[in-house]
Amino acid sequence: MMREHSRFQLEATRLGRTVVFQVTVFEKEDRQRNRLFAETQCSDPLHFLLQFIVRDATDFDDLLSRFLAELEHRGFEATRYRRREGGKWGEWAALAGASGTRPEPDRAGTVTEG
């Protein structure tokens, strides 16, 4: 059986353009286990259509981390996201490593945390 699990929006930038992805997460139940999946798409000046698909995530955090990995692989920098709860959008939450919070390399080119 499949049903809607949740919805979220994620804001990311690429090539100086900000994109807000609207994502609906579905939950599929089979053989006594639940799995989440989501799909969204966008276009940019270089590509007619970019699709992002996440399948078989164990929970929302797993799904979000996989989605962020796909965005990063395709050159997007995710900045923030928010979830839809109780019929309205929640507050925007910054993503770790976004908006200049990444560690800067030192003079030798080594990246140090903290």
- At 32-48, the pLDDT tens digits run 788 998 988 777 666 66
pTM over 0.85: no
pLDDT of residue 51: 80
DSSP per position, 28-77: EEETTEEEEEEEEEEEETTEEEEEEEEEEESSHHHHHHHHHHHHHHTT-E
Residue linked to tokens 């919805």 = 7
Q: How confident is the model at residue 111 (pLDDT cuts 50, 70, 90)?
A: very low
Structure-block tokens of residue 68 = 């962020």
Q: How confident is the model at residue 103 (pLDDT cuts 50, 70, 90)?
A: very low
- What gap in Å lies between CA 25 and CA 6, rounded to an integer? 5
pLDDT(105) > 50: no
Rounded mean pLDDT, 51-68: 89
